[in-house]
Structure 1
Amino acid sequence: MSTFKEVVEIVSYAIDAAGVAVIVGALLWAGARFVISGRKVDEPYRRLRQDIGRGILLGLEFLVAADIIRTVAVPPTMEGVTILGLIVLIRTFLSMALQVELEGRWPWQRSQQEHAAVIRDGDGAR
């Protein structure tokens, strides 16, 4: 019979594996898409970078979730909390940097389409 700690660790490792699989899958998908479509699309290199960036972003979300779940199984110590905080901080920074690179704006800023819609509709209710 498994203990709660063992089950939580198995679940967190499974989510870690899913995060790595998402990143690897995204790299393969982006590479295949780049090779197949190649010069047929506008800015193929930019699209390749965006595809890879999206995959890394999604994979990082899985990895952060696994880290958080793993803390449930471990008794909280100052060292453990500090390490988790640093890992989550680094991964969150990477996620935000990738999002800025992909979308050209911070996550809390409106996109140009949203901004145009608010101006067009004349209200900030959107």
Structure 2
Amino acid sequence: MDTFLEVIDAIALFIEVLGVAIIVGGFAITSWRFLHHRMFHEQRAFMHYRHGIARALILGLDFLIAGDVIKTVIIANTGQQVATLGVIVLIRAFLAFTLHVEVEGHWPWQDSRYLGAADGGRRNSPERER
């Protein structure tokens, strides 16, 4: 049984390290793209930069939460650790919600296909992005 727990702990650690790597790698790649586009004076470079960082954060946080869930449920499932995990999941859900609104420009329950028609097509127009 100890070998099983050690394997699960190693898997959870790997998933958490992968989450950190996704956040750091996403930040590095997005920053490089931002600097590259800024040199060519792309008007929307900053918007793409913010979106790229938000996507990397959301994906990385998903991996970090998965690692925490594995550790809490399989390895150490005390009441305090489960409560801590619950708080972490709530914080992550709030972050994902706010990042979604920031990146997409609408509430998660709104269908983006219909937003262009509702605002007269201004949402995706070049005038809106300036």
AA at the equivalent of 1:101: E
Q: Which runs of 5+ in 1 are unaligned?
A: 118-126
Count of aligned positions: 116
Summarize the Cα distance change of 1:5–1:34 in structure 2 as closer, same or farther, 3 Å threshold: same
Q: Distance in 1 between matches of 2:91 and 2:65?
A: 10
- Find the aligned partners of 2:51 and 2:116 in 1 and give their Cα distance: 24
Q: State the shift of 1:20 in Å.
A: 0.5
Contact 2:12 2:68 in 1 (8 A): yes
2:26 and 2:79 map into 1 onto residues whose CA distance is 36
Whole-angstrom CA distance in 1 between matches of 2:17 and 2:83: 23
- Structure 1 residue identity aligned to 2:15: I
Output the TM-score relative to the length of structure 2. Answer: 0.79
Distance in 2 separating the partners of 1:100 and 1:53: 10
3-state SS of the aligned residue for 1:106? coil
Structure 2 unaligned residues grouped into runs of 5+: 118-130
Whether the 8 Å CA contact 1:8–1:72 is kept in 2: the answer is no
Deviation at 1:92, TM superposition (A): 1.5
Alpha-carbon contact 2:13-2:67 (below 8 Å) kept: yes
**Percent identity of equivalent pairs:** 42
In 2, the alpha carbon distance for the partners of 1:16 and 1:64 equals 8
8 Å Cα contact 1:16-1:66 kept in structure 2: yes
8 Å contact kept, 1:12–1:66: yes
SS of the equivalent of 1:93 reads helix
Query: How far apart in 1 are the matches of 2:76 and 2:52?
Result: 39
Q: Partner residue of 2:60? A: 59
Instruction: Give the alignment's TM-score, normalised by structure 1.
Output: 0.81
> Is contact 2:101-2:108 (8 Å) kept?
yes
Aligned residue in 2 for 1:97: 98
CA RMSD of aligned residues (A): 2.0
